Amino acid sequence: MRSITTPPSTPASPFHASFGGDEVVDAPRRSALRGLRLRALLAGSLLAATLAAGPVAAGPVAARDLIVRTEAGSVKVTEVASGLQNPWSLAFLPDGRMLVTERPGTLRIVGTDGEVSAPIAGVPEVHARGQGGLLDVALSPSFATDGLIVFSYAEPTAKGARTAVARARLDADGLRLEDVRRIFAQNEDPSGSHHWGSRLAFARDGTLFITLGDRFHQRERAQALDSHLGKVVRIALDGSVPADNPLVGHAGTLPEIWSWGHRNVQGAALHPQTGELWTHEHGPQGGDEINRTRAGLDYGWPEVTYGREYVTGRKIGEGETRAGVEPPVLQFTPSIAPSGMAFYTGDVFPQWKGNLFVGALKFQLLARLVLDGERVVHEERILTELGRRIRDVRQGPDGHLWLVDETEGRILRLDPA
């Protein structure tokens, strides 16, 4: 297991310090921060392009685009769509358009020309408080024939709220969700508005992995096998439990559980060679983890962690390792607040083929991780010039990397410069 330790950056707000960057900044503070960052970006864009890209940037860089230097050469960050409100995730439709979730509860289609549709009707009510709301979205592996999509959201209940997942059909005109049916909901619904997890990933056999947060104040339940809090679960598209799940037939456990001991998993992707599920999760102060998320394994939280308590700085649990706990592939200290993850397999950036990309909220960057088998052997941090919270990372059908810029409400594409 490799550790990455970097000098801590100054938090943008007290909320960053309290929640490791995975928080919702209040509107006035967000507006002020946005204005400062935008002015800095506009003032420095020409200088950054000239110094970083050399002859590639012969004239001023448009405010909507930015050219940055990477170890693989200069890359242009192209704004494809804007005007979104707290975008959280995207999924590509077969014709190249994108489904985009907005955390307050709206699902939209972004056209290949960047045009943003009106809200799609039929989305269930969401608990749009704190980090909750409408979250991830994915297409069924058989979308071409069944037309199904799945999406996760914070579902309000009489007691509080819980992470839930629904499936639906997108009508032919892309205006409405039809046959909406909830296929999963956490069995506990505490109060509070943090740590929903909520990434979705389809396995090669068509089953669905769902990541579930510990809901922050319920962290001890991440070790309880009769609870969905702090777990990764695996279900079929109809909501049933696959017979080969690791806890099927074990008394006192929930058979849909795949792994446990997680804190707040906001990245999930299949390894392109092995087909194995990889995830990443937020640590408290330090200890963000990237994991090979295997069936029936304990990932330690909150008994084993590299992180520390927010207020006191004291160690959490028993230490950083323990027999019977699966160690992370990589841990970040201090926390970068990871969100979104994708293995790159395209041809647009051949030097990046096989690399793992992770978005960061607190450090506002894109981490490129070079793998040797299942080991991380090198990290490059790019897009620091952008200064935006990267909420999601996807490889598009065109072989480009696509990003969800939560700070400015944009969809971005990386192009060779």
Catalytic residues: 195
Tokens 């293995």 sit on residue:
343
Question: Between vectors from CA 310 to CA 326 and to CA 133, what angle results, nearest 5°?
Answer: 80
Q: d(Cα 334, Cα 255) in Å, to the nearest integer?
A: 35
Q: What is the CA radius of gyration of the chain?
A: 20
302-307 — which CB contacts under 8 Å span 24+ positions? 302/214, 302/219, 302/220, 302/222, 302/223, 302/263, 303/223, 303/261, 304/261, 305/263, 306/3, 306/331, 306/333, 307/283, 307/333, 307/335
Q: Which of 169, 168, 166, 161 is nearest to 183 (CA)?
A: 166
